[in-house]
């Protein structure tokens, strides 16, 4: 089921196989996908490309998802971009609470059902657009 509009989605995921799976699924739904292989690349790419949403893993090299989330939300340029955390740590209530406290829009546990993941991502973008007016 294609989304109502084409989104630019940054997938910040260090596992190449998982990242490519997300990309293929999102592209079939009509979205454009940018990939970041580590937390530092996620920060740079988000600021440069201004995606509609960031799908963020927590356990990544260079900077982990907590640091990425914190820095994106502290930067006025990127603070309004929704962040959907998809992590093997997503079922840990402490990790979930920390990520939400840092500004993540939602947290999903891996392995994620891609249909649910991208439905949620699309809804988060719609909600963020509605909040901006």
How many Å apart are CA 99 and CA 82, to the nearest integer?
12
How many Å apart are CA 110 and CA 75, to the nearest integer?
28
Tokens linked to 122: 């699309």
Digit-coded pLDDT (tens) for 15-32: 999 999 999 999 999 999
How many Å apart are CA 79 and CA 66, to the nearest integer?
14
pTM > 0.85: yes
Give the chain's domains with CATH numbers.
Answer: 8-123 (3.40.50.2300)
Distance in angstroms between the alpha carbons of the first and the last residue of the chain: 26
Digit-coded pLDDT (tens) for 72-118: 999 999 999 999 999 887 567 788 899 999 999 999 988 889 999 99
């Amino acid at each position: 089921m294609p989304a109502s509009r084409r989104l630019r989605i940054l997938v910040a995921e260090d596992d190449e196989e998982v990242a490519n799976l997300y990309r293929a699924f999102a592209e079939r739904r009509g979205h454009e996908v940018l990939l970041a292989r580590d937390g530092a690349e996620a920060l740079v790419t988000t600021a440069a490309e201004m995606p509609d949403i960031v799908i963020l893993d927590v356990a990544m090299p260079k900077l982990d998802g907590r640091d990425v989330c914190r820095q994106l939300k502290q930067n006025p340029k990127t603070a309004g971009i929704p962040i959907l955390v998809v992590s093997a740590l997503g079922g840990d209530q402490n990790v979930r609470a920390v990520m939400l406290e840092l500004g993540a829009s939602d947290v999903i546990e891996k392995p994620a059902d891609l249909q649910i993941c991208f439905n949620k991502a699309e809804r988060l973008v719609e909600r963020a657009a509605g909040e901006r007016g």
